[in-house]
Structure 1
């Protein structure tokens, strides 16, 4: 694995992007025009005419509290998981799962808004990606493997169990203004990636090539 901590690097990106958000508010606030500029740069929203927001929205946060909560959650899982993968895989996984989670939230809110329930929303924040890391840890560790083998659970029931766990975790972390669809999607995508062992680094020997689980 390459040197450096992708968890620390992600925290630095959080801080840099948040500082830029504050700067945008300060520069355009006196004109009363910071909201459209802010949304243009940082908020993932339909009709997705700003493709860069698929990335910037993952690292942007709506408040200091939002930033700190995601940072703490990332620290608790990131330093563990990064030991079993590379910096590149960690960063790609983080931004891709975060973008997928945000996209699911925007599309779901747009769908229900079209039916007359609520309003379409834009999203920002790293929680979908952080939930994907936790889902990966659940789906990809040896304890889960051993438990499922001992229970002799069929594949369809296995994913049914993970679906229920994702729902429980989503409901438990739900609150007003929280993107629960993004949480659910991120966690479920993370579980699937963990079962496929996508982040693991292959170890070659004269006998075989294997991927380490933790």
Structure 2
């Protein structure tokens, strides 16, 4: 089973520098220092076989297995002439920490033994050849562990395929966590998860002499951290069951038990494997715990950094509509603009294009409707008030019978008065005052007009509207406001 989080938001505005540095270090270490590891290991094994060291050590090891009850029938029946069987026995010897400890302490082949000096020289040369392999020398061997190996092992890999697989996961998860959680928290999670992965491996296999190498323990930590940091946030994942694969949107935290269960299944039921599933489990659990603590100590996580981006359905429709307009195909263009408005009712560009299409029939209901919608949209913010005034002028100049609502007329009058176009505002308000003097909001619009005359220094006009408001709406708030206003200085220009 394979489950991989995916995202299309990784970019270069805030580049994942630490992820790139770690990725580069892993690649440089492998290609600069590890490309000859296989040859070094092969040379060491050939030396073991051809130097006579195998002929000295394996009989002692077979006796040890028999004495301790560890021997199986295959080991006891192995023919010294069968090189393949002997090499399997040799591999068992090299991974048997207890026997190796006895061997190197001189408790198997003792100094009193006639072949001791010869054996010791061959064994030392064999180990020198083994140590020419960077993975062997600096990998994490629980039974012969050094503190430095807990760090170095996570930057070593066994093959190009091993490296590439790990780096793909590092890039995916590293970018997400570094961008969402920050470089400090990401770096801490990566390194400490690697240490915890190695630590659990040593606890479970304390006598192992097989070197643990690879960034997968630290990367498993990133996987665990990802599930905790993004918690209930629904994330996109790619999953494969071998015969079936697909994508899904699920809460990130669901991935943690799924990943741990998969590692446990592989550990107990997949048979013999070179994959360190125990290290993966340690990394997953460690990363999850570190993320839980780090989120509270270091700072907030941008859990929306990888929210799914809604598909842009409008841009393609707009492109098609404008192509129809260019070809003077107005009906299909109109249908597309209306489809855009179904998706986004206040889309200014679609409304503007519809206005231009419908103004060819200025008395049609559609022309009045689109004008209302555009005026309401332009009237919402001062930045578009000038566009509203211009649109109103175009509309009233084209249609014989304007059909706006009274509230919209009042809104336009207020916008015009504020913009200093007192003549146009006055025309609208006087028409409403004549036909519907009790219209709600009319006194407020009249006081806006009076204030516009007041600011412009038009004394006579200000007085006229002051007296009109007092006379028509004596009990209104507006009457009290305008009564308290001082007369403007006369404008003699």
Q: TM-score, normalised by structure 2?
A: 0.33
1:168 aligns with 2:232: no
Instruction: Tell whether the 8 Å contact from 1:60 to 1:124 is kept in structure 2 after alignment.
Output: yes
Q: How far is the alpha carbon of 1:163 from its aligned partner?
A: 7.7
Larger mean Cα displacement after TM superposition, 17-26 or 5-14: 17-26
CA deviations 1:125-165 (Å, max 9, x no partner) are 110111110111111214169xxxxxxxxxxxxxxx98844
Question: Given the alignment, which residue of 2, 25, 34 partners 1:13?
Answer: 25
Q: How does 1:1-214 map to 2 (within 5 A)?
A: 5-22=17-34, 25=37, 32=44, 33-37=128-132, 38-39=134-135, 41-47=137-143, 49-110=145-206, 119-143=208-232, 164-171=257-264, 176-198=273-295, 201-202=298-299, 211-214=300-303
Specify whether residues 56 and 137 from structure 1 end up closer, same or farther in structure 2 by C-alpha distance, changes over 3 A only.
Answer: same
* Structure with the larger RCO, 1 or 2 (CA within 8 Å, 6+ apart): 1
1:86 to 1:139, Cα distance in 2 relative to 1, 3 A = closer
Which structure has the larger Rg? Answer: 2
> Against the structure 1 CA distance between its residues 49 and 143, is the aligned structure 2 distance closer, same or farther, given a 3 Å change threshold?
closer
- For structure 1, which segment, 23-32 or 172-181, has the greater mean C-alpha deviation from structure 2 after superposition? 23-32
Deviation track 1:10-47 (CA, whole Å, cap 9, x = no partner) reads 11010111124326649967974442243564211134
Distance in 1 between residues matched to 2:40 and 2:224, nearest whole Å: 39
**Gap runs ≥5 in structure 2:** 1-13, 45-127, 235-253, 304-493
Q: Per-residue displacement from partner, 1:165-191 (whole Å, max 9, x unpaired)? A: 453131466561110110111111112
Distance 2:191 2:145 in 1: 19
Deviations 1:67-99 (A, max 9, x none): 011001111111111113343432332122112
CA distance in 2, matches of 1:29, 1:85: 41
- Unpaired stretches in structure 1, ≥5 consecutive residues: 114-118, 146-160, 203-210
Given the superposition, is the C-alpha separation of residues 123 and 39 from structure 1 closer, same or farther in structure 2, using an over 3 Å criterion?
A: same
Aligned residues of 1:73 and 1:130 also touching (Cα < 8 A)? yes
88 and 201 in structure 1: CA distance in 2 versus 1, 3 angstrom threshold? closer
Task: Output the aligned Cα RMSD.
Answer: 3.3
- Using the size of structure 1 for normalisation, the TM-score is 0.70
User: By how many angstroms is 1:4 displaced?
Assistant: 5.5
Q: How far apart, in 2, do the equivalents of 1:60 and 1:22 lie?
A: 8
The verdict on how the C-alpha distance between 1:7 and 1:173 changes in structure 2, with shifts beyond 3 A counting, is farther
> CA 1:24–1:54 in structure 2 vs 1: closer, same or farther (change >3 Å)?
farther
Cα 1:198/1:67, change in 2 over 3 Å: same
Q: C-alpha separation between the residues in 2 aligned to 1:30 and 1:121?
A: 16
Equivalents in 2 of 1:88, 1:35: separation in Å?
37
